[in-house]
Amino acid sequence: MKLSIITATFNCGSILSGCLDSVASQDALEHIEHIIIDGASNDNTLEVAASYPHIKQIYSRTDRGIYHAFNRGLELATGDLIYFLGADDTLYNKSTISAVLSSFEQDDIDFVITRVHCFNQESGETWVTQSELREAVNVCHQGFFCRKSLFEKIGPFNECLKLCADTLFMRTAIKKYKGKSLNLISANFRQGGVSSHGSNRLRLRKELEVISVLQGDNITPKDHHLDKNVSDLKLLIEKSLVREKIRSKYSGKRLAIFGTRQLSISIAKLLLSVGANVECFVVSNETNRASVIDIPVVSLSFVTNFDISLLINCIEGEHESKVSEDIKNDHPEFAVMSWRDL
């Protein structure tokens, strides 16, 4: 079984090596066909790509956008399976592809969904997506592998959608065809692409609404890209808080923060500003993220290595209370409180 990895590029010579290195280091490299679809770059992108012997094809022409590039890659791909990896994204570890190939060999499925490690270098925010087989879920394409035959069933990417054509394709696949969810992280996804720009947020929302209408969903589409407005509001609130009210409670205390997303970072900064000692950020599973805002990130199993008296749970979703209970059961030696109680 062969996997075609399609990477679209345009003037990204300064960041492309990480992506290509992560593919070249795969232990299943002999089963990979890596194709570069370039939009007529005028920097050293093509020279960088050409220096990697594992790359099977390089195609460079002006295009109409990312989905036109992806569709061109589909036309050139000869693999049984298809995967799209961004020029500034990387495969998570050297066994990523072999694990995915094994899943397709074991099951009669059209696609596989994995988890993705997302990060924003500017804010320090980091999180891992879930791999859920739900019709309305928004899957990162870095966590979606499918048979090439699925494009024959659904069709190529719809270029009328400039930001969400991959979302439409993946939601259609989840709704109509057989897939599998894998509890593994396939890629590191750097936030800050075109859909994250402030000028594109309204278009992103409208395209997601169009997709929901096309698929007959009776929900308001949600997407982590749309959190930017909420993140900005949280930062504004952080600046306006009267820190003296909590200084007496937390000054000098040794604390841990559960979570590494925007809210967790804001809470950590607030507590640091009133004299608290934030010893670490805590996540559920093992992580390759060493630190956030120069504070160590550790898994829940290693938090006992730190001398802390209180862990603040910064989960915002419906599972916040369950996370708190799980932490209390595993670590009764220290107190756990919600960020909402600050």
Give the tens place of pLDDT for each residue, 104-122. 998 899 999 999 999 887 7
Residue 169: pLDDT over 70: yes
Residue count of the chain, please give it: 342
pLDDT score of 224: 44
Average pLDDT, the chain: 86
Indicate the pLDDT class of residue 226, thresholds 50, 70 and 90.
very low
Cβ distance 148 to 77 under 8 Å?
Answer: yes
> Which residue ranges form the domains of the chain, and what is each CATH number?
3-192 (3.90.550.10), 241-341 (3.40.50.720)
Q: How many angstroms separate the CA atoms of 307 and 202, rounded?
A: 45
DSSP string, 121-173: TTT--EEE------TT----GGGEEEETHHHHHH-S--TT-SS-HHHHHHHHH
* pLDDT value for 235: 58
- DSSP-assigned states of every residue in 40-59: --SSSHHHHHHT-TTEEEEE
Would the pTM of this model clear 0.75, i.e. be above it? Answer: no
Residue 285: Cβ within 10 Å count: 11
Whether the predicted pLDDT of 231 surpasses 70:
no
